[in-house]
Amino acid sequence: MAMTDSAGGTAAIAAPAAPGAVARTAGELTLLGAIWGGSFLFMRVAASDFGAVPLVEARLALGALVLLPFLWQARAQFTPGLWLRITGIAAVNSVIPFTLFAWGAERAPAGIGAITNAMTVMFTSVVAYLLYRERISARQLLGLIAGFVGVTVLASGKTGGQSVWPAALAGAAASLCYGFGINFVRRYLTSLPSAAVAAANLLCGSVLLAPLAAYTWPAHAIPARSWGSAVLLGVVCTGVAFVLYYRLIGRIGAARASTVTYLIPLFAVIWAWLILDEPLTLTMGLAGALILAGVAISQQRAKK
């Protein structure tokens, strides 16, 4: 899941939080990690019955429906030119990566996509350097190398005798798209309410994808289990999760809220193991450790 920092780092430095507030924040971060980790489970369940594009259309439309009240409140700020810009960003930040993850979910265990999703933080730094010449530190470069090694290890693995490299590469490509999307949101949309931007992003994405989704919509009946997964994916893992995430950004800032990245692969693997009986392979464990270590290294601040 992409974590769009449209708060733009505007939060003031707060006084040390009370123990109750710390516990609340930790609980909400854990809950968000569990929800976003569950999105890979729901994609794994529903993708084979829906197909990647129709599933993503359902996800975008349902997520936009949940966030629509926030967009309605800020509707006066959304000019025609702004809508055009958001439509372009939505293609990179939602339509393409969601479709790549859903495509990968048809072909590999849920943990594969979740592990590669952790590279979003590092790709965001790389894209910021390439496009806007933001400084990239030696730590970030080292973390990126560790992440790439992790993806290589992940792509070399097999599940049930079948290679998972197509899903691993699709997940890495989706994370790269998130890296571009987050930078575009930071640069062009930071003056707008975060939840309204998320709603507009999802709404534009659903409109963009609607013709292709209608054309590829499955002719067969979709089982109730897959419908339930699609609804949970759109309503909970997209709509509700974005509300929770932006609330965390407002309280603790975007940098601390982004630490949820560390929890998503863990929960995705746990849910897939508990509910779908998917095994945790050695390559998945090693790749996950390398990628998360890369994220941790890249996010450390140099000591003064």
Q: What percent of the chain has pLDDT over 70?
A: 89
Instruction: Answer yes or no: is 251 within a domain.
Output: yes
Mean pLDDT of 82-98: 95
The pTM for the full model equals: 0.85
Mean pLDDT of 176-205: 90
Residue 6: the pLDDT is 38
Mean pLDDT of 14-19: 53
In the chain, beta strands by DSSP E:
158-159, 162-163
Residue 248: the pLDDT is 83
Residue 19: the pLDDT is 61
Residue 242: the pLDDT is 86
**Spatial distance between the Cα atoms of 297 and 292, rounded to a whole number of angstroms:** 9
Task: Tell whether the model's pLDDT for residue 7 goes beyond 50.
Answer: no
Instruction: Answer yes or no: is 83 within a domain.
Output: yes
Burial of 129 (0-12, 13-18, 19+ CB in 10 A): middle
Which DSSP letter does residue 277 get? -
Instruction: Answer yes or no: is 12 within a domain.
Output: no
Task: Tell whether the model's pLDDT for residue 12 goes beyond 50.
Answer: no
**Spatial distance between the Cα atoms of 281 and 278, rounded to a whole number of angstroms:** 9
Instruction: Answer yes or no: is 6 within a domain.
Output: no
Residue 84: the pLDDT is 95
Confidence class of residue 9 from pLDDT cuts 50, 70 and 90? very low
Task: Tell whether the model's pLDDT for residue 284 goes beyond 60.
Answer: yes
Mean pLDDT of 202-215: 97
Task: Tell whether the model's pLDDT for residue 250 goes beyond 80.
Answer: no
Residue of 141 and 14 predicted with greater confidence: 141
Residue 18: the pLDDT is 61
When divided into structural domains, the chain yields a total of 1
Query: Which residues constitute the domain of residue 121?
Result: 20-215+225-299
Instruction: Answer yes or no: is 10 within a domain.
Output: no
How big is the CA angle at 198 (ends 184 and 243), to the nearest 5 degrees?
Answer: 130
Instruction: Answer yes or no: is 14 within a domain.
Output: no
Instruction: Answer yes or no: is 220 within a domain.
Output: no
Neighbouring residues of 8: CB distance < 8 A, sequence distance ≥ 6: 186, 190, 254
